[in-house]
Chain A
Amino acid sequence: GQQVMQIPQYQHVQEGEDFTTYCNSSTTLSNIQWYKQRPGGHPVFLIQLVKSGEVKKQKRLTFQFGEAKKNSSLHITATQTTDVGTYFCAGQGGGNKLTFGTGTQLKVEL
């Protein structure tokens, strides 16, 4: 079945440093979604990427969909304490099934 892996599992950064999480699928995806879950909270939708090679930006966040539509990345520039949380990718593959990645937990230290 479809598998979606994320690396790293954990990341500690100093405030102001950059952060990147990578998402890799075992199968080609029709689209990929990204979610953020704050500690003790629930996942909140951030963005959806559909096109091969697509790049989208939301303020300090940059999302990229790979050319082969099997991988994606989320990059945060100059992290802030408000960025703390777990970031999940979710890929839609064959059969319209949405599979969540394992998540990357980000901690930001002052």
Chain B
Amino acid sequence: DGGITQSPKYLFRKEGQNVTLSCEQNLNHDAMYWYRQDPGQGLRLIYYSQIVNDFQKGDIAEGYSVSREKKESFPLTVTSAQKNPTAFYLCASSTRQNSPLHFGNGTRLTVT
């Protein structure tokens, strides 16, 4: 969607490798989020950030890491410690925490 760019759309990795998912926004939003979506389930929050250089764990942070060095960027690293990394990953932003979310197009990660 306009304003948030996630890349790539599809990503394939071998088990045991770390992989970083990109998320960039030009909406000047303060808050950014990473969600994971599995078939038949809702969106589960991995990490969120309300301001540059600060972020908090969500409900399923184990095996993931993030950074927020710039307001526009919030990359997510899926580490080898994540036991079931294959999923659809969605990045979102909002003007402030928990105001309506604006989502990117998502990255579908497959780990074999």
Contacts and interface: CB of A to CB of B under 8 A. Distances in A.
B100 A42 contact: no
Given A9-B40, A42-B1, A100-B42, A92 B98 contact: yes
A96 B43 contact: no
Contacts of B68: none
B43 A44 contact: no
Interface string B38-56: 0011111100000000000
Given A100-B42, A100-B43, A101-B42, A33 B103 contact: no
Interface residues of A, number: 22
B85 interface: no
How large, as a class, is the contact surface on chain B? 10 to 19
Q: Secondary structure at chain B's binding surface: helix, strand, loop or mixed? A: loop
A43 B36 CA distance: 12
A108 to B, nearest CB: 20
Contact of B103 (A4, A43, A48, A98): A43
Contacts of A101: 42
A92 B45 CA distance: 13
Interface string A27-52: 00000010100000111110010000
Interface centre among A33, A90, A98 (most CB of B within 10 A): A98
B105 interface: yes
A103 B101 CA distance: 16
Interface of A: 1, 4, 6, 9, 33, 35, 41-45, 48, 88, 90, 92, 96-98, 100-103
